[in-house]
């Protein structure tokens, strides 16, 4: 459902009647709204595969790891999610046969999540569909995508992302 006006512009106008920081409020609200819109689109692309974008990210992380496995705590750090979220992600992936929990060979207290051959195959199929959907960013050209990444880099750096 499209509105006949930009709701963030309207919110910024009203904000400015009471408080300062209109450019910051407008920018962060736009960023959060785009996040919601793109995530909904990506989840729609991944739904036929039985995945959400969060689960897809977990599978890709394991797919890229040198051994195909990783401690759950490290997964949480890399995905920047709470430990309970990692547990939920791994539970769902394990239930679908895409990941298996294994004991860590050197640390009996640590559990590894290990991608299965089925998980690897699903990453390939799901990635094809995400690429076909331009990861939900199809209105942007390559130069816009590069600019967007560069605009966001200082925020990520300041937050300690790298």
> Which residues 6+ apart lie within 8 Å of 80 measured at CB?
161
Same domain, 128 and 115: yes
Give the confidence band of 130 by pLDDT, cuts at 50, 70, 90: very high
Same domain, 99 and 88: yes
Q: Does 92 fall in a domain?
A: yes
Same domain, 33 and 99: no
pLDDT (0 to 100) of residue 33 = 96
pLDDT (0 to 100) of residue 21 = 98
| Residue 140 DSSP class | S
What is the chain's length?
162
Same domain, 62 and 123: yes
Same domain, 44 and 93: no
Number of domains forming the structure of the chain: 2
Is the pLDDT at 63 greater than 80, yes or no? Answer: yes
pLDDT (0 to 100) of residue 1 = 76
H helix intervals, the chain: 7-16, 22-46, 53-64, 72-79, 83-95, 117-132, 142-158
Q: Does 20 fall in a domain?
A: yes
Return the sign of the alpha-carbon dihedral for residues 95, 97, 99, 101: positive
Query: What is the chain's mean pLDDT, rounded?
Result: 96
C-alpha to C-alpha distance for 81 and 7, rounded to whole angstroms: 29
> Which residues 6+ apart lie within 8 Å of 50 measured at CB?
96
Same domain, 120 and 69: yes
Counting residues of the chain whose pLDDT is more than 90, the rounded percentage is 94
C-alpha to C-alpha distance for 76 and 72, rounded to whole angstroms: 6
Same domain, 39 and 11: yes
Q: Does 23 fall in a domain?
A: yes
Q: For the beta carbon of residue 157, count every other beta carbon within 10 angstroms.
A: 10
CATH number at residue 118: 1.10.10.10
Same domain, 56 and 129: yes
40-51 pLDDT per residue, tens: 999 999 999 999
Q: Does 140 fall in a domain?
A: no
Q: Does 158 fall in a domain?
A: no
Q: Does 68 fall in a domain?
A: yes
Same domain, 34 and 69: no
C-alpha to C-alpha distance for 108 and 28, rounded to whole angstroms: 43
pLDDT (0 to 100) of residue 108 = 84
pLDDT (0 to 100) of residue 90 = 98
Same domain, 45 and 64: no
Tokens of residue 111, six digits? 């559990």
pLDDT (0 to 100) of residue 77 = 95
69-125 pLDDT per residue, tens: 999 999 999 999 999 999 999 999 999 999 999 999 998 899 999 999 999 999 999
Structural domain for 14, as ranges: 1-49
Residue keyed to tokens 């199809």: 138
Same domain, 57 and 24: no
pLDDT (0 to 100) of residue 100 = 98
Same domain, 36 and 104: no
When pLDDT is averaged across residues 57-66 and rounded to a whole number, the result is 97
Residue keyed to tokens 């974008």: 53
């Amino acid at each position: 459902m499209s509105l006949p006006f930009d709701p963030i512009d309207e919110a910024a106008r009203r904000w400015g009647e009471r408080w300062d920081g209109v450019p910051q409020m407008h920018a962060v609200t736009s960023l959060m709204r785009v996040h919601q819109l793109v995530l909904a689109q990506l989840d729609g692309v991944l739904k036929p595969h039985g995945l959400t974008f969060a689960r897809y990210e977990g599978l890709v992380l394991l797919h890229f790891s040198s051994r195909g496995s990783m401690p759950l705590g490290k997964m949480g750090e890399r995905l920047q999610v709470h430990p309970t979220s990692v547990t939920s992600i791994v539970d769902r992936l394990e239930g679908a046969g895409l990941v298996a929990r294994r004991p860590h060979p050197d640390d009996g207290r640590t559990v590894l999540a290990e991608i299965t051959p089925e998980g690897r195959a699903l990453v390939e199929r799901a990635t094809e569909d995400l690429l076909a959907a331009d990861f939900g960013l199809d209105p942007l050209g390559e130069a816009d995508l590069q600019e967007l990444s560069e605009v966001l880099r200082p925020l990520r750096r300041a937050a300690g992302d790298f």
